């Protein structure tokens, strides 16, 4: 049973990595500069960090092969937004970014048919 759970986690990670790579290619094609991927700290994980113009961007990438688990955007609920926000705040502090450097929280939803939906300003910072 433990082995099955471990394999399931590995498969989810592999799938996540594949779709994060698709998101990175999409962002680069739109002029974003990728800073970091899969950034983790004690508050959470940020899938992709990027810059465009003078804005620091924090991306959450979600994939759904079909609608049986809901829309990918629904998975970025209030709890997830809080975790991403706190991880972003820690990233700011740790890397010495000025407090007035604008930032944005975006979501990239990828669907089973290959459609990419980039939601800019998907949510505000959550305490």
**What does the pLDDT average to over 4-32?**
78
pLDDT digits (tens, 9 = 90+) for 24-77: 999 999 999 999 999 999 999 999 999 999 999 999 999 887 665 666 677 789
What b/e sequence results for 4-35 when a residue is b if at least 16 CB atoms lie within 10 Å of its CB, and e otherwise? eeeeeeeeeeeeeeebbeebbeebeeeebebe
Domains in the chain, start-ordered, CATH in brackets? 2-123 (3.40.1350.10)
The pTM for the full model equals 0.85
Are residues 51 and 58 in contact, defined by beta-carbon separation less than 8 angstroms? Answer: no
Neighbours of 95 (CB within 10 A): 11
């Amino acid at each position: 049973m433990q082995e099955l759970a471990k394999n399931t986690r590995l498969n989810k990670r592999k799938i996540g990595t594949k779709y994060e790579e698709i998101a990175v290619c999409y962002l680069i094609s739109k002029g974003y500069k990728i800073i970091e991927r899969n950034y983790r700290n004690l508050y959470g994980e940020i899938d992709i960090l990027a810059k465009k113009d003078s804005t620091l961007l924090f991306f959450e990438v979600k994939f759904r092969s079909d609608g049986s688990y809901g829309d990918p955007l629904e998975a970025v609920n209030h709890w997830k937004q809080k975790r991403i926000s706190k991880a972003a705040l820690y990233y700011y502090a740790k890397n010495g970014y000025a407090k007035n450097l604008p930032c944005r929280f975006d979501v990239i939803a990828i669907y089973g048919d290959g459609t990419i939906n980039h939601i800019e300003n998907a949510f505000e910072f959550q305490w």
